[in-house]
Amino acid sequence: MANEEPTDLDWIQLRREMGPAHHVETSKEKFVRKFGENPFVPIGCLATAGALSYGLWCFRTGRTKLSQQMMRARIVAQGFTITALVVGVIMTAGKTVK
C-alpha cells in the first residue's frame, strides 16, 4: 500500500533530521540578552548594593555622617533602578510583536 501510516521509528528519524524543537536559554545567555535590552537595570542594582554595603560598613566603623550620605545615595540608586525598569517596560510594550 502506498498510503501507509508512519511507524514510531519514522518519527524518530524525522525528529533527528529536524533537530531540536526549541533552544533552552541558559542563565548566562538570559543575562546577556536582558543586559543588552536594558543595561541600566543591572547597573542600578550594582550601585544600590554598593551604596548599601559601603554605608553599612561606614556605620559599623563609626563614620555616621558618611553612612547617612551613603544611605541617601542608596535611595537615589534605587530610584534610578525603578525608573530604568519602568522605561524598559514601556519601550518593550511599544515594540511590535513579530
pTM: 0.67
The residue with cell 536582558 is: 34
Between CA 88 and CA 38, with CA 54 as vertex, the angle to 5 degrees is 10
The 10s digit of each residue's pLDDT in 60-86 is 999 999 999 999 999 999 999 999 999
Highest mean pLDDT among 4-8, 33-37, 48-52: 48-52
Q: Could you give the CA distance from residue 33 to residue 10 in angstroms, rounded to a whole number?
A: 37
The residue with cell 510594550 is: 93
- Under 8 Å between Cβ of 51 and 77: yes
